[in-house]
Amino acid sequence: MKAVKILERMLATIPIMFGVAIIVFFFIRLTPGDPVDIMLGRSAAATQREIEQLRQQFHLDEPLHVQLGYFLGDVLRGNLGYSYIRNKPVVELLTERLPATIEMTIGALLISLIIALPIGILSAVRQNSLLDRVSMAGAFLGISMPGFWLGIILILFFAVRLQVLPAQGRLSYDVHLQEITGMYVLDSLLTGNWRALEDSLKHLLLPSITLGAGVAAIIARVLRSSMLEVLRSDYIKLARAKGASEWGVVMKHALRNALIPTVTVVGLQVGVLLGGNMIVETVFSWPGLGRLVVDAIFNRDFPLIQGAVMIYAITFVLTNLVVDILYTYLNPKITL
């Protein structure tokens, strides 16, 4: 029953994706700049004939609605076009870069949860204690620090001064790894390559902290305030009156209910993480989707931008689907 509902919800994302595709298509074409100019460079060598040829090849000479028709038809066939600049199919470029970005996003999400869950719970249970004040001040800092700044500071301290963690990339040059999924931590686990596991984790740590810090701060604050509210409720009083231990009251009765608003925020923050990737990937020279997109935007690489934005949108929609499913487990009043 539940599986059917989940499948229904997944099918319902298809029209959403179509909407996203259409919006992205038009927005990109609204931006100034001609891709053909950039492709040919500003050299005067290109003749009018060559320019016309390229325009025809990419259907840029046709009216917008015809271009849209080509684009949507291609999307349906799983073909996201051909990158003007990199001379490679967009799908190939995306699948090459996506694992690195997913890996960093998961890393950042895990780090932010590891930091935020205990802090959120403890600062609510010990409201107004020193711990509460210090961690909420810390959370304020976490929200305020821009990612590029935090990234550079972390590199300066851990990579340059202490020299304990690498400053850039995903793997050291002398470490070899057989790629399966493209997510290096997972691949080293799958192939039992412990050296690569340690090395890839080390490379992952600083970018994940940089990306996760702001999200951790927000999750901690939301969890704290919903815990505070829940801890005042009657059913917490009843749990205590039953003789439940403080641990049982907090971790079972309170946390379960306080997680409901928190999960919503975590779901929305995944969008923030995806956006933050672009900056953090640049700071740490992380070969992920973010840097690819930034380059694509500067180069007016329409197909690549379209493809990447579609990937972001799918990720975001799927994340929210996961959030909705989690909801039904946390809150029995909600069904899919």
Partner 1 sequence: MTDTLLELKNLTTVFPTRRGLVHAVADVSLSLAHGELLGVVGESGCGKSVTMLSVLRLISAPGRIASGQILFQGRDVLKLSNREMRDIRGRDIAMVFQDPLTSLNPAFPVGEQIRESLRIHHIAHNHFAREKDRVLQLMTEVGISSPTDRYRDYPHQFSGGMQQRALIAIALACEPKILLADEPTTSLDVTIQAQIMDLMRRINDARGTAIVLVTHNLDLAAEFCQRIAVMYAGRIVEIGATDQVVESPQHPYTRGLLTCIPRIAAQRTRIEPIPGNVPDLANVPRGCAFADRCSLAQPICQQELVPFCEVAPGHKVRCLRVNDAGGAT
Residues in touch with partner 1 (CB under 8 A): 232-235, 237-246, 248, 253, 256-257, 330-333
Distance between CA 220 and CA 98 in Å, rounded?
28
Which residue number, 129 or 181, has a Cβ lying nearer to partner 1?
Answer: 129
Q: How far is the CB of 36 from partner 1 (least distance, A)?
A: 59
* Gyration radius from the chain CA atoms: 24
Q: Quick one: 161 or 333, whose CB is closer to partner 1? A: 333
Partners of residue 89 on adjacent β-strands: 82
Least spacing, CB of residue 269 vs partner 1, in Å: 23
- Looking at the Cβ atoms of 131 and 186, the one nearer to partner 1 is 131
Q: What are the DSSP calls for 80-135, one per residue? A: --B-TTT-SBHHHHHHHHHHHHHHHHHHHHHHHHHHHHHHHHHHHHTTTSHHHHHH
CA distances from 153 to 167, 216, 241, 282, 285 (A): 11, 18, 50, 14, 15
Minimum separation from the CB atom of position 220 to partner 1 (A): 22
Strand partners, 82: 89
Residue closer to partner 1, measured from CB, 65 or 333:
333
Cα 10–13–18 angle (5° rounding)?
Answer: 150
Cβ distance to partner 1 smaller for residue 16 or 238: 238
Q: How far is the CB of 221 from partner 1 (least distance, A)?
A: 22
Comparing CB distances to partner 1, the nearer of 51 and 325 is 325
Which one, 194 or 329, has the nearer CB to partner 1?
329
The answer to whether 170 touches 177, Cβ cutoff 8 Å, is no
Quickly tell me which residue has 């470029």 as its tokens. Answer: 93
What are the two backbone dihedrals, phi and then psi, of residue 89, each rounded to the nearest 5 degrees? Answer: -60, 140
Pick 197 or 222: Cβ nearer partner 1: 222
CB of 78 to partner 1, least distance (A): 42
Structure tokens at 184: 């290096």
- The secondary structure of residue 288, as a DSSP letter, is S
Q: What is the largest CA-CA distance in the chain?
A: 86
CB of 6 to partner 1, least distance (A): 21
Instruction: Please state the closest distance from residue 262 (CB atom) to partner 1, in A.
Output: 13
The minimum distance between CB 326 and partner 1, in angstroms, equals 13
Please name which of 279, 282, 276 lies closest in space to residue 312, comparing C-alpha atoms. 276
What the block records as the tokens of 291 is 């840097």
3-class DSSP state for residue 79?
Answer: coil
